[in-house]
Amino acid sequence: MKTALPALAALAILASLTGCQPGGKNASTMPTNNKPASTPPTAAPSTTVTPATNAAPAKVVRSEEEWRKMLTPEQYRVLRQAGTERAFGTVYEEFKKQGVGTYVCGGCGAELFSSKEKFDSHCGWPSFYDPANAKNVLTRDDLAHGMVRTEVICAKCDGHLGHVFKGEGFPTPTDKRYCINGVSLKFIPAGQTNAPAK
């Protein structure tokens, strides 16, 4: 048993460094009426950027100093430095309780996801099976940590949102899991308007 403990500790450290990984198949669709620990930031190399549609939104461009002033340190680490928030944190618990509404980029306010496409993948991060407004979501190859993954970014501000995984067998229309950092998102309940980011 003593030799198994170091191996388990190593696996836990690896999971925290690599962030969201392909998960299991036991997911349930969530009803629509219902400061994490630090991980070293990593810049995601990009070889391909794929817009989900042809129409690209106008870019939001700010200096790093401006981003640092307007975002919390955790938002900056995730959105601007491709970090990953801790799994099963406070933001994830809040996400599970949020009802009908829209999820916008925490950096620029671009509409990204809808509560209609959210589901509980039990992975510890907010999960969606499809973007609500595909023109605001881009994907690109992420080769960090010796793995091949597909990074999800905001098309308006290039903020890192998370990763998308395919073919995991979830009972959703797309068989995709957009595994998104909760601090990258802002929830706008149905009936409220989204004030644009300054």
* DSSP code at position 30: P
Contact 161, 150 (CB under 8 A): no
Element (H, E) at 179: strand 176-180
Q: CA separation (Å) from 96 to 41, 112, 151, 181?
A: 26, 17, 23, 13
Q: Which of 108, 123, 154, 179 is catalytic?
A: 179
Concatenate the DSSP letters of all residues of 77-136 into one string.
Answer: IIIIT---PPTT-HHHHHHHH--SEEEEETTT--EEEEGGGEEE-SSSS-EESS-SSGGG
Separation of first and last alpha carbons in the chain:
55
- Which one, of 181, 191, 189, 195, lies nearest residue 72 by Cα? 181
**Is 105 marked active-site?**
no
- Which one, of 191, 189, 183, 169, lies nearest residue 41 by Cα? 183
What would the two tokens of residue 135 be?
């023109």
List residues with catalytic annotation. 179
